[in-house]
Structures are given as structure tokens and as C-alpha cells.
């Protein structure tokens, strides 16, 4: 067993709750911008800390006037926008708490979150959100108050609370202490019914305070970020709360198709993103260069960028490499940085592994991707690379106030200020994952001599072939998925004679790739899945992944599915993780065909997609 524990950077305050973070920020920098909202002309209008606090108090009074009581749960179904964090803080000031509902949730999911959490009210953003809630409203008799943001209900709610006294509001606001429940977040989950993770005020307060100290170069007054990851997920929600504490200016863009224009106008100093975003930025630049006849130059620039970053790790950059790097900085790197707003110095990446190639590439663009690791049960971060403690290929050391341990079987355990109180109304599930304060993550990893954590896979996803070989799917899936043509990959082979994979194509990148390959850009997906050039490109991605593992672990065969994995189709979670069990079940016939129709297990051949 290996263990690395980092002491807290700040003393814990057992009387504090999340509202204290906002009060302290408004007192320290009342006139500094804490948020920015679109001004309707392509620009942004600042919202100061004092103005945000004023709006939070007004909305909290409205909730009290509407009959929301201490400890009441309020559902929120809303895209990533300014109002999300406004609504998040208002119930805390009113002594209540939020239960986030993903904006993509089905009526059945809405029903489960609101009924299991015992919510008494719900706030939805759009008419579509309301219709999904309304479909199951008869089964939610406890939900007696419903507000819709797009109908102006937040303003009406705030106006209705003008007669609630400041003293009553302060009594409600200050009642909660560190160990009280701050929220119940239902895990999106890749298997089974979602469980409600109970996060306390201490989880948010102490994790924010410690993380802000550790990441002081990234999050501080004067820094800024544009949130586009769904705020219903703990990853973005924690960043939003920590930004309030640290004085970071936050903007929002829910439409990822508008991300680049928003980055150009907002000009954030750091980003919060999942690895797929960085893959798409890289792949789009590569295909754009290819279309302009500059693919060779781009690939040279990439090779130089990666070599430059690795040389930095070794402590010396040879003169020839410095000169080539300076040339490509003018020709390639500078244009990419400008496309991302021009001011980004750091990016925090989580939710899935980031390839070392991307880490080195972006580092040479002077964008240091601080890869981290955590779960809903750890209030998002448990470990993260820091500006001063940084190793590409790892998820960094434990945050202050957090301990990380690897068990004998490689499972990662976490203990500290960030670990949740348990699962809502599920003592059995809680007991299964909490042992003397240590949370069993279900992930596999290793700690190096300096305390840096590397995640190697998911314990429940380990494949054991018929020959007894243990295979971690992530080690193969991540490098295959890095190919611009690949959307998702699911490696299979449990109790089978060899490892195989199901592959989907990236439908956004496919037309560009086809055009660059001299084929019709509007080729139907089913035809593209069978096309020899497409199959050859996917084969190259598989070959590259296989080069890093033993033959027994390598992907021998794969099938390109003529479909997309989507959340609506039930194959992805809201944070875009693959629901492996669902995919394996839904495409059981295609998997069976891999092993029955092609008995030659020593050859690696593309299998024509047959559909579902």
C-alpha cells in the first residue's frame, strides 16, 4: 500500500458555510467583477461582487416569501449560464439547498432526482425543461412550487420578497454549519440507478479554500474563465464556487458551437474542460491545415512542440530545437493561441485521461493543461497538477487537506476535506465505499515517489481474456479516440479469445476528413463506416494504440458502427462518459459477430459495420 497525504493549507472553520465565501469576497473586492454576462452585441457586461450579492439576497428573500423553509430541497434544471450560480447561492442564503438536474435529463430521470431527494420546489430554464418536468409532476405531490427562468420568474420571485427582513434572512443564512448538507448531487453513473451524493458545506468551503491556495497562480483576483461544461456536474459547479471565493471573473457559454467566438471576445486566462475539448481543438487545427495544403507544416510544428516540451522536462533545450520552435511559434502556435482568446495560460482538465501528446503540445503553446482527478464523491478535485508541481501524464499530487492511498490491488482511496458524507438514504452503498474515512473510488492507479498519481483504469472495467490476460480498456481507448476521425471507442473481450473494439465516427470531423481525403463530404454515415479509406484510418489509430501494449492486450479486430453514441440514445452520461454496460448490451450481436464470423484471431482486419 502506498500513501501520500498533504496537510491542509488553511485551518478548518467548523462554523462556516458556503455563503461565507460570497460575503468575504464582496467585502474584500465589492467593486471588482465576479461575473460577466453577454451584452447582446457580442461583448460582455461585468457583474460586480457587490451586485451579485445583492441579487442573491433578493432572490433568497423571494424564496422565503414563497414558503421555502430551512433544509428544503429545490430542484434546478438549467443550462450553463449566469443564473445557475445565482440560483445556487440563493437557497443557501435562505437556509435551503439545491438538487441539480441535468438539462438533458429525461422525464423519468427528473422524477427520480426530485422524488428521491424529497424536493419541494423546482426551477427550470426553458419551456422544454418544464414540459419534461410537467410530464411527471402528478407523481411529485411534494413539489408545490415551480418557476421558469425564461418567463422572468426569478425577477418576479425577487420582487415578491421585498418585505422579508434582513434579520430574518441573516438568521436563515447563518444557521448552517460546516457539517450540514449543502447539496445532493445525483451521479450520472455508467451503470445502475443514480445515487445521491451528499456534499456538506465543509466539502465546498474547505476544498475551495485549500484549492485556491494550491492553485494561486491560476485562480486569483484578475483571472477569468469561461464555463461551458455543464454546471449541474460537480466539476464546473465546484469551479464556480471556488471562483466566487477567489475573485475569479466567470462567464458562461452553454452552446459549444459558439465556444471559439466566445473565447475570442471574453479572453479568459484559464479554461475548465474535458480532454475531448482539447482533442477537438487540436484535430480541427490539423484538418484545417490539411485542407489548406499545410498539413506537412502542421505535423512538423507538432513534432517540434512535443520535443520542446520534453526537453523542458529534461532541463535543456538544444539550440537547433529552440530555433525551430521560434519559427513555428510565429507560423502555427501563435495563431492557435489567438483562436482560443489569446490570454489563456492554464487549463484544468478532468473527467477523463488526457494523452501525454496533447499535454506536451499545448504546453509548448504556453498553455499548461493542469490535469486533475476527482469524482462527485470528492467534491470534484482530489489531485491536480499545479504550476509549481507538474508532471505530464499524471493527474498531479493530492490537494492540501487531502490524502491519497493505493490499495494492494491498485484501487485509489481518498480521504480529506473533500470526501462526501455518504449516499442519500442509502447506508448500505455508503458503507461499501467508506472505510474509516477513506473513500474507495473504484479507479485503479499508482503513486510515484513524489506523490504524483497516475490513473490506469476502472476497477470494474478490467477485461480478463479467455487466456487470463488482464486488460485495462482505457489504455487502448484513449489513444484510439485521439484520432480526429474517431468519436468513441469501447474495448471488449472479457472471457473472449482476444481483445476487440467497437468504434464510432466523429460526425463533426467526418465531413472535413472526407473532403481532405478527396471523398464526398456529405457521404452518409453508414457508407462512411464501410469506406476503405475510413477503415484504413481507423486501423492506423488502432495500430498506434497497439504499439504501446503487449500483443495479448492489443486490439485484434474492430467494428465501425454506423451510429453515434449520444446521451439521448442512452449510451453516454451527461459528462460524455460511455455507458459501457449499455453499449455492450445494445451491440451484443455485433460483438458476437466479431468472434464468430472471423475465427482467424491472429489477423487484424476491419469489420464492416452492420448497424443495430
**Residue 189: predicted pLDDT:** 53
Q: How many whole angstroms separate alpha carbon 90 and alpha carbon 35?
A: 16
> Is it the case that residue 490 has pLDDT exceeding 50?
yes
Percent of the chain at pLDDT > 70 equals: 96
125-138 pLDDT, tens digit per residue, is 999 999 999 999 99
Here the cell at position 88 is: 445556487
Q: Rounded CA gap, 57 and 174, in Å?
A: 13
pLDDT of residue 192: 59
Q: Kindly state the average pLDDT of the residues 407-427.
A: 96
Q: Is the pLDDT of residue 166 over 90?
A: yes
Query: What is the model's pLDDT at position 289?
Result: 83
Quote the pLDDT of residue 80: 94
Task: Inform me whether the pLDDT recorded for 604 exceeds 50.
Answer: no
- The model's confidence at residue 612, banded by pLDDT at 50, 70 and 90, is very low
In the predicted model, is pLDDT for residue 187 greater than 90? no
**Strand ranges, E, within 448-552:** 453-458, 463-464, 470-471, 486-492, 499-505
Cell of 78: 438549467
Q: Give residue 567's pLDDT.
A: 81
Tell me which of 6 and 473 has the higher pLDDT: 6
Counting beta carbons within 10 angstroms of the beta carbon of residue 367, is it exposed (0 to 12), middle (13 to 18) or buried (19 or more)? buried
Spell out the CATH class of 273-342+345-460: alpha beta
Task: State what percent of residues in the chain have pLDDT above 90.
Answer: 62
Q: To the nearest 10°, the Cα dihedral for 113, 117, 120, 125?
A: -30
Higher pLDDT, 256 or 308: 308
Lowest mean pLDDT among 275-284, 516-525, 587-596, 602-611: 602-611
What does each C-alpha distance from 19 to 23, 95, 179, 292, 421 come to in angstroms?
6, 10, 14, 52, 19
* pLDDT of the residue at 605: 37
> Which of 604, 598, 569, 602 is CA-nearest to residue 586?
569
pLDDT in tens, 345-391: 999 988 777 778 888 988 888 888 899 999 999 999 999 999 988 89
Domain ranges in the chain are 18-176+219-269, 273-342+345-460, 462-607
Rounded average pLDDT over 293-315? 89
- CATH superfamily for domain 18-176+219-269: ANL, N-terminal domain (3.40.50.12780)
CA 602 – CA 223 distance, rounded (Å): 54
CA pair distance 596, 336, nearest whole angstrom: 47
User: Would strands 73-77 and 97-101 be described as parallel, antiparallel, or unpaired?
Assistant: parallel
Query: In this predicted structure, which of 48-57, 100-109, 194-203, 351-360 has the lowest mean pLDDT?
Result: 351-360
- Burial class from Cβ neighbours inside 10 Å (0-12, 13-18, 19+) for residue 146 reads middle
CATH number of 462-607: 3.30.300.30
Overall average pLDDT of the 448-473 stretch:
85
User: What is the average pLDDT value for the chain, to the nearest integer?
Assistant: 90
pLDDT at 292: 82
> Would you place residue 610 in the very low, low, confident or very high pLDDT band (cuts 50, 70, 90)?
very low
Task: Assess whether pLDDT exceeds 60 at residue 603.
Answer: no
Topology match between the domains 273-342+345-460 and 462-607:
no
Cell of 238: 465546484
Span of 165-179, 199-213, 274-288, 317-331 with lowest mean pLDDT: 274-288
Q: Could you read off the pLDDT of 102-111 as tens digits, one per residue? A: 998 889 989 9
Q: Quick one: average pLDDT of 267-291?
A: 84
The kind and range of the H/E element at 125 are none
pLDDT exceeds 80 at position 306: yes
In this structure, the number of other CB atoms found within 10 A of the CB of residue 601 comes to: 13
Amino acid at each position: 500500500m502506498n500513501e501520500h497525504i498533504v496537510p491542509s493549507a488553511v485551518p478548518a472553520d467548523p462554523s462556516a458555510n458556503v455563503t461565507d465565501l460570497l460575503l468575504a469576497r464582496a467585502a474584500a473586492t465589492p467593486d471588482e467583477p465576479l461575473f460577466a454576462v453577454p451584452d447582446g452585441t457580442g461583448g460582455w457586461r461585468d457583474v460586480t461582487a457587490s451586485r451579485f450579492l445583492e441579487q442573491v439576497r433578493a432572490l433568497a428573500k423571494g424564496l422565503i416569501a414563497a414558503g421555502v423553509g430551512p433544509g428544503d430541497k429545490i430542484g434546478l434544471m438549467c443550462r450553463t449560464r449566469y443564473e445557475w450560480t445565482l440560483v445556487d447561492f440563493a437557497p443557501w442564503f435562505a437556509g435551503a439547498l439545491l438538487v441539480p438536474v441535468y438539462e438533458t435529463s429525461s422525464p423519468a430521470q427528473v422524477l427520480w432526482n426530485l422524488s428521491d431527494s424529497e424536493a419541494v420546489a423546482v426551477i427550470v430554464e426553458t419551456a422544454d425543461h418544464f414540459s419534461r418536468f410537467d410530464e411527471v409532476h402528478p407523481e411529485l405531490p411534494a413539489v408545490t412550487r415551480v418557476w421558469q427562468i425564461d418567463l422572468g420568474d426569478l425577477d418576479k420571485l425577487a420582487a415578491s420578497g421585498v418585505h422579508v427582513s434582513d434579520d430574518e434572512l441573516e438568521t436563515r443564512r447563518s444557521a448552517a454549519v460546516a457539517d450540514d448538507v449543502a447539496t445532493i448531487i445525483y451521479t450520472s453513473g455508467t451503470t445502475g440507478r443514480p445515487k445521491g451524493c451528499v456534499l456538506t458545506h465543509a466539502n465546498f468551503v474547505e476544498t475551495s479554500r485549500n484549492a485556491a491556495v494550491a492553485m494561486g497562480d491560476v485562480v486569483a483576483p484578475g483571472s477569468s474563465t469561461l464555463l461551458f461544461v455543464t454546471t449541474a456536474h460537480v466539476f464546473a459547479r465546484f469551479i464556480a464556487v471556488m471562483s466566487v471565493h477567489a475573485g475569479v471573473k466567470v462567464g458562461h457559454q452553454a452552446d459549444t458551437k459558439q465556444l471559439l467566438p466566445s473565447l475570442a471576445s471574453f479572453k479568459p486566462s484559464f479554461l475548465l474542460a474535458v480532454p475531448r475539448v482539447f482533442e477537438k481543438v487540436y484535430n480541427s487545427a490539423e484538418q484545417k491545415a490539411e485542407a489548406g495544403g499545410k498539413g506537412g507544416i502542421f505535423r512538423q510544428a507538432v513534432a517540434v512542440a512535443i520535443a520542446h516540451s520534453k526537453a523542458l522536462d529534461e532541463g535543456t533545450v538544444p539550440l537547433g530545437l529552440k530555433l525551430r520552435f521560434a519559427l513555428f511559434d510565429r507560423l502555427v502556435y501563435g495563431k492557435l493561441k489567438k483562436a482560443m482568446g489569446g490570454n489563456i495560460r492554464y487549463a484544468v482538465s478532468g473527467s477523463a485521461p488526457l494523452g501525454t501528446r496533447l499535454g506536451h503540445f499545448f504546453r509548448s503553446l504556453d498553455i499548461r493543461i493542469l490535469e486533475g482527478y476527482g469524482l462527485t464523491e470528492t467534491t470534484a478535485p482530489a489531485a491536480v497538477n499545479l504550476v509549481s508541481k507538474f508532471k505530464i501524464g499524471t493527474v498531479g499530487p493530492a490537494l492540501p487537506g487531502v490524502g491519497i492511498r493505493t490499495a494492494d490491488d491498485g484501487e485509489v482511496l481518498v480521504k480529506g476535506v473533500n470526501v462526501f458524507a455518504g449516499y442519500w438514504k442509502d447506508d448500505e452503498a455508503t458503507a461499501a465505499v467508506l472505510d474509516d474515512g477513506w473513500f474507495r473510488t473504484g479507479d485503479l492507479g499508482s503513486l510515484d515517489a513524489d506523490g504524483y498519481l497516475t490513473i490506469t483504469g476502472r476497477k470494474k472495467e478490467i477485461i480478463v481474456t479467455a487466456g487470463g490476460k488482464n486488460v485495462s480498456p482505457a489504455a487502448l481507448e484513449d489513444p484510439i479516440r485521439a484520432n480526429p476521425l474517431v468519436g468513441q471507442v469501447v474495448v471488449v473481450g472479457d472471457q473472449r479469445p482476444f481483445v476487440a473494439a467497437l468504434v464510432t465516427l466523429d460526425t463533426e470531423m467526418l465531413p472535413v476528413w472526407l473532403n481532405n481525403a478527396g471523398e464526398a463530404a456529405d457521404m452518409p454515415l453508414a457508407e462512411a463506416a464501410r469506406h476503405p479509406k475510413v477503415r484504413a484510418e481507423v486501423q492506423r489509430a488502432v495500430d498506434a494504440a497497439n504499439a504501446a501494449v503487449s500483443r495479448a492486450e492489443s486490439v485484434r479486430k474492430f467494428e465501425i458502427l454506423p451510429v453515434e453514441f449520444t446521451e439521448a440514445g442512452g449510451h453516454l452520461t451527461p459528462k460524455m462518459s460511455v455507458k459501457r454496460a449499455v453499449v455492450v448490451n445494445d451491440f451484443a450481436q455485433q460483438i458476437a459477430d466479431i468472434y464468430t464470423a472471423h475465427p482467424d484471431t491472429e489477423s487484424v482486419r476491419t469489420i464492416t459495420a452492420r448497424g443495430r
